[in-house]
């Protein structure tokens, strides 16, 4: 078995506003495993490293990929416990290879084109008018669950946006989720949570910065609005540390990005531990290309989720790859007759 990787830069169709600034492009790495006697057949995956969010992002990232390349050739294990995105991509490549190198990772009724996954409509940060326009587009497209990224404009304007949205669409017709990405000042968090609850908001992701565990535990205990942990999970790989976090903070939900929480295997452990404690969850993508998004959608579908998931649709980038995923309103489906041209990937600059 051999391993190779190829860097790739994804370019945003429109500037993407986040609490960490505006993104114009995003690096990622494609990974493949293959038999050196038949390199035309390869398992494909993606390691979607996220500078500023992925703890492993930095000068040592490609060195770890080179280490993995050498160890695979020698048949030796590689410690990826601190390299979540590489773990995620390697799991994809191995699954694809083991299932015939056809872009199948978790075969199911979803990959047979017979079932779908309900997703939320993500509204990126922007000016008030931009966000209101994006909300209107999502509602008109048929989304019944909208996720708003907040924290980029004045809180008063965000209040206006949410209240006007709620006036038009009551809670029984439109579910509103918000993601603060840790952007609330600590002294303002509780009043804002109370106001959001009064607007019938479903939940909030990461209201305050990660790492303030005692304060987060207090907010989860007293907040009238359900709190979901997101960034708080990043970088935690040991089972006992996961247990300690869940038992200390006691969130209502956890948000799982396999690229940031230990790959598919790490996400499954989080789900098991959360289920034992009555904590809900949903899966969210983390700006993967269509390679990683395809695998992530298949994984999510295999779990038969009962609430809307946070999967992307692949439309953010101008230079994305072809995908079998299709979107019909809020329903993400899979077209088994629409597979990307795998020969295209051979043209990339693979490091072997």
The catalytically annotated residue of 26, 138, 242, 257 is 257
Q: Is 262 left (phi over 0), alpha (psi -120 to 50) or beta?
A: left
Distance (Å, whole) CA 67 – CA 61: 10
Distance (Å, whole) CA 324 – CA 29: 20
Q: Decide if 250 is catalytic.
A: no
Q: Is 328 left (phi over 0), alpha (psi -120 to 50) or beta?
A: beta
Strands laid side by side in the 331-334 sheet: 117-118, 331-334, 325-328
Helix (H) or strand (E) holding 195: helix 189-198
The catalytically annotated residue of 26, 147, 149, 242 is 149
Q: Angle at the Cα of 260 (from 256 to 261), degrees rounded to 5?
A: 60
Q: Decide if 147 is catalytic.
A: no
Coarse DSSP helix, strand, coil percentages of the chain, rounded to the nearest 5 percent: 35, 25, 40
Per DSSP, what are the bridge partners of residue 264? none
In angstroms, how far is CA 188 from the centroid of its own chain?
Answer: 27
CB atoms within 10 A of CB 55: 13
Which of the residues are catalytic?
Answer: 149, 257
């Amino acid at each position: 078995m051999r391993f190779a990787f190829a860097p790739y830069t994804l370019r945003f169709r429109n500037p993407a506003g986040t609490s960490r600034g505006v993104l114009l492009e995003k690096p990622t790495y494609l990974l493949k495993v293959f038999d050196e006697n038949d390199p035309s057949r390869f398992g494909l995956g993606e390691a979607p490293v996220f500078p500023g969010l992925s703890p492993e992002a930095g000068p040592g990232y490609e060195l770890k990929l080179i280490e993995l390349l050498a160890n695979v050739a020698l048949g030796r294990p590689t410690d990826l416990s601190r390299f979540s995105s590489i773990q995620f991509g390697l799991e994809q490549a191995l699954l694809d290879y083991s299932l015939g190198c056809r872009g199948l990772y978790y075969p199911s009724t979803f990959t047979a084109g017979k079932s779908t996954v309900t997703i939320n409509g993500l509204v990126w940060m922007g000016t008030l008018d931009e966000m209101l326009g994006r909300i209107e587009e999502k509602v008109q497209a048929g989304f019944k669950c909208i996720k708003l990224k907040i924290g980029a404009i004045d809180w008063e304007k965000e209040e206006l946006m949410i209240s006007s949205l709620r006036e038009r669409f009551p809670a029984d017709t439109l579910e509103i989720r918000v993601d603060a990405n840790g952007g609330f000042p600590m002294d303002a968090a509780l009043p804002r949570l109370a106001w959001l609850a009064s607007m019938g908001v479903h939940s909030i992701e990461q209201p305050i910065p990660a790492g303030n565990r005692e304060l987060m535990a207090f907010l989860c205990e007293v907040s009238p609005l359900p709190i979901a942990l997101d960034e708080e999970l990043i970088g935690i790989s040991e089972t006992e540390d996961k247990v300690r976090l869940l038992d200390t903070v006691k969130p209502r939900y956890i948000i799982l990005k396999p690229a940031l929480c230990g790959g598919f295997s790490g996400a499954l452990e989080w789900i098991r531990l959360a289920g034992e404690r009555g904590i809900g969850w949903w899966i969210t993508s983390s700006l993967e290309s269509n390679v990683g998004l395809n695998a992530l959608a298949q994984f999510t579908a295999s779990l038969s989720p009962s609430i809307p998931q946070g999967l992307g649709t692949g439309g953010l980038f101008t230079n994305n790859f072809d995908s079998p995923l299709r979107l019909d309103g809020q329903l993400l489906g899979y077209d088994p007759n629409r597979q990307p041209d795998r020969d295209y990937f051979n043209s990339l600059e693979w490091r072997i």
